[in-house]
């Protein structure tokens, strides 16, 4: 292995000797299984012809920084499975640059401090060339600070605070989900026209909730609306009765929720119990698939945003769904959702960038990702996507959706109301807020 990673403060010094530790094969199987009933990918690869041809070459290691517990544990499993599918596809054709790809997963626990420790360990002890994964924006920010310190290319797959591609951006970090501003731009104006201008905000009390609510407020007020109350909800809240009683008293036209993970599951069920799901109108800035899958139809109320759905009428979707079902027959979620999709797409584009660069050199890979353009067909969306080189956020199709009351099958629970091209929902404030480090200030390495 050539490891030229250096500390940006001391450019002539080699990286820690801990970076040169040999990875034991037994450690690599820890998190390939996406949960109960899911077989690891590592075993079958060894019997694959393409694998055997590259087995003598040192594996390229990817660190998977995904929650397996905490508020976003269910979504963490889904994005992990998506990343592993992309890795499996590359290994089936011989890996990348003739090297097999191996992955190490460590649970980030939906906690920034744990995310930071995990990133540090993966880079300095496990020789990860790249890091992939995140749901919680505070966790993603913590990981990205460690990644920038070492120059380690990091793909934030699913956390969507506007700050991730704004003030907390980094040269090594690339953001793959839509953010709170993108979804607010897609939803707010129409909701105001249809439902009214008196709004209450229900906000998870951490960075994603705060920044998403801020984006919503800005757009509501710019269009003549009024936020009459903002109710802050601590993470891991399971009893929403006090908040819902307050909403009953205020009688708003619209409740704009920026609540995610296990919290939104509990909220939706309690809203139905109090018969508040039909009035007032509900807007959930972004709805992740694992957070509503399996809920009863009444609990999937309101209008919400997403960047992908498994029944989009675009090329490649049916095949993608079939591949998921063949690879993961034992998982509880029977069809892939947006979180799985983002994990897959981010990892696939990372490995493609390595191929185009012809090298694992981090600066070369970064430059390839900065100029990324992906056709609608290749993205399985309705419009072409492109990486914003200033903010490092992928600009993509954003969909408005609601509950589907005429499903084609049991899992067909979303009805797409509108599809918006990237130019219509691009975050106007992020470019000014984002100050990427220079290439020279970013430690360089080649694994």
Question: Is 180 in contact with 137 (CB distance < 8 Å)?
Answer: no
pLDDT, tens digit, 9 for 90 and up, residues 361-412: 999 999 999 999 999 999 999 999 999 999 999 999 999 999 999 999 999 9
Question: Is 67 in contact with 136 (CB distance < 8 Å)?
Answer: yes
Q: Please give the CATH topology (third level) of the domain spanning 180-311+397-425.
A: Rossmann fold (3.40.50)
- For all residues of the chain together, what is the average pLDDT? 88
Q: What are phi and psi of 16, to 5 degrees?
A: -55, 145
**Bridge-partner residues for 303, per DSSP?**
283
Q: What is the pLDDT of residue 296?
A: 87
Instruction: Please list, residue by residue across 420-442, b when 16 or more beta carbons sit within 10 angstroms of its beta carbon and e when fewer do.
Output: bbbeebbbeebbeebebeeeeeb
Q: Which residues 6+ apart lie within 8 Å of 29 measured at CB?
A: 40, 42, 43
Q: What are phi and psi of 347, to 5 degrees?
A: -65, -40
CA angle 91, 73, 121 (to 5 degrees): 60
- Residue 399: helix, strand or coil by DSSP? strand
Give me the torsion for CA of 430, 213, 71, 320, rounded to 10°.
-60
pLDDT, tens digit, 9 for 90 and up, residues 221-278: 998 999 999 999 999 999 999 999 999 999 999 999 999 989 999 999 999 999 999 8
- Residue 255: helix, strand or coil by DSSP? strand
DSSP readout, 34-96? -STT---SHHHHTTSHHHHHHTTSPPEEEEEEE-SSSTTHHHHHHHHHHHHHHHHHHHHTT-B
Q: What is the pLDDT of residue 57?
A: 86
- The tokens for 211 are 């920044």
Q: Which residues 6+ apart lie within 8 Å of 264 measured at CB?
A: 257, 284, 287, 291, 292
Spatial separation of the C-alpha atoms in residues 227 and 198, rounded to whole Å: 6
Question: Is 46 in contact with 98 (CB distance < 8 Å)?
Answer: no
Q: What is the pLDDT of residue 33?
A: 35
Among residues 249, 239, 295, the alpha carbon closest in space to that of 270 is found at 239
Distances (CA, A) of 310 to 93, 344, 360, 378, 379: 26, 14, 33, 15, 13
Spatial separation of the C-alpha atoms in residues 341 and 419, rounded to whole Å: 17
pLDDT band at 189 (very low <50, low <70, confident <90, very high): confident
Q: What is the pLDDT of residue 338?
A: 98
Q: How many CA atoms lie within 13 A of 187 on its CB side?
A: 34
Same fold, 6-178+314-396 and 180-311+397-425: yes
The residue with tokens 């009805």 is 415
Break the chain into its structural domains and give their ranges.
6-178+314-396, 180-311+397-425
The residue with tokens 């508020």 is 71
pLDDT band at 15 (very low <50, low <70, confident <90, very high): very low
Spatial separation of the C-alpha atoms in residues 257 and 243, rounded to whole Å: 12
Among residues 155, 157, 215, 195, the alpha carbon closest in space to that of 425 is found at 215
The residue with tokens 């790809």 is 101
Question: Is 39 in contact with 45 (CB distance < 8 Å)?
Answer: no
The residue with tokens 């990427």 is 436
Q: Which residues 6+ apart lie within 8 Å of 438 measured at CB?
A: 171
Residue 165 has pLDDT above 80, yes or no: yes
- The tokens for 263 are 């919290």
Q: Which superfamily, per CATH, for 6-178+314-396?
A: Response regulator (3.40.50.2300)
DSSP readout, 112-141? HHHHHHHHHHHHHTS--SEEE--SSHHHHH
Instruction: Specify the pTM.
Output: 0.87
- Residue 66: helix, strand or coil by DSSP? strand
pLDDT, tens digit, 9 for 90 and up, residues 42-98: 322 333 444 444 457 899 999 999 999 999 999 999 999 999 999 999 999 999 999
Rg (alpha carbons) of the chain, rounded to whole number: 21
DSSP readout, 352-389? HHHHHHTS--HHHHHHHHHT-EE-HHHHTSSS-EEE-T
Residue ranges of the alpha helices (H) in 196-260?
207-222, 241-250
Among residues 186, 167, 206, the alpha carbon closest in space to that of 392 is found at 167
């Amino acid at each position: 292995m050539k490891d030229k990673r250096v500390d940006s403060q001391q450019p002539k010094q080699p990286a820690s000797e801990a970076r040169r530790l040999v990875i034991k094969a037994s450690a690599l199987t820890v998190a390939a299984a996406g949960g109960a009933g899911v077989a690891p990918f590592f075993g079958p690869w060894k019997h694959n012809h393409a694998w055997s041809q590259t087995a003598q070459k040192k594996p390229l290691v990817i660190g998977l920084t995904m929650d397996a517990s905490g508020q976003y544990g269910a979504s963490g499993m889904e994005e992990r499975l998506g990343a592993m599918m992309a890795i499996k596809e590359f290994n089936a054709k011989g890996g990348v640059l003739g090297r097999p790809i191996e992955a190490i997963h460590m649970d980030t626990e939906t906690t920034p401090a744990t995310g930071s420790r995990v990133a540090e360990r993966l880079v300095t002890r496990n020789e990860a060339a790249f890091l992939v994964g995140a749901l919680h924006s505070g966790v993603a920010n913590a990981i990205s600070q460690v990644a920038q310190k070492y120059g380690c290319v990091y793909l934030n797959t699913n956390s969507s605070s506007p700050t991730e591609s704004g003030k907390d951006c980094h040269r090594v970090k690339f953001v793959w989900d839509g953010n709170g501003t993108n979804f607010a731009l897609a939803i707010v104006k129409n909701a105001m026209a249809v439902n009214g201008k008196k709004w209450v905000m229900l906000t998870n009390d951490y960075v994603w909730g705060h920044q998403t609510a801020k984006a919503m407020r800005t757009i509501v007020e710019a269009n003549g609306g009024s936020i009459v109350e903002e109710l802050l909800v601590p993470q891991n809240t399971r009893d929403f009765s006090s908040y819902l009683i307050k909403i009953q008293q205020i009688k708003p036209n619209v409740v704009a929720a920026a609540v995610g993970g296990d919290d939104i599951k509990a909220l939706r069920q309690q809203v139905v119990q109090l018969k508040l799901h039909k009035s007032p109108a509900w807007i959930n800035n972004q709805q992740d698939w694992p957070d509503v899958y399996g809920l009863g139809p009444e609990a999937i109320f309101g209008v919400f945003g997403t960047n992908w759905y498994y029944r989009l009428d675009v090329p490649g979707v049916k095949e993608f769904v079939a591949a998921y079902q063949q690879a993961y027959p034992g998982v509880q979620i029977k069809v892939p959702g947006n979180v799985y999709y983002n994990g897959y797409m981010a990892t696939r584009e990372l490995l493609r960038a390595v191929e185009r660069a012809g090298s694992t050199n981090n600066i070369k890979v970064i430059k390839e990702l900065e100029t990324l353009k992906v056709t609608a067909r290749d993205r399985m969306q309705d419009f072409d996507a492109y990486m914003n080189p200033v903010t490092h956020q992928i600009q993509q199709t954003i969909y408005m959706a609601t509950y589907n009351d005429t499903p084609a099958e049991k899992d067909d629970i979303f009805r797409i109301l509108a599809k918006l091209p990237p130019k219509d929902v691009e975050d106007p404030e992020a470019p000014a807020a984002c100050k990427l480090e220079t290439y020279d200030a970013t430690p360089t390495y080649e694994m």
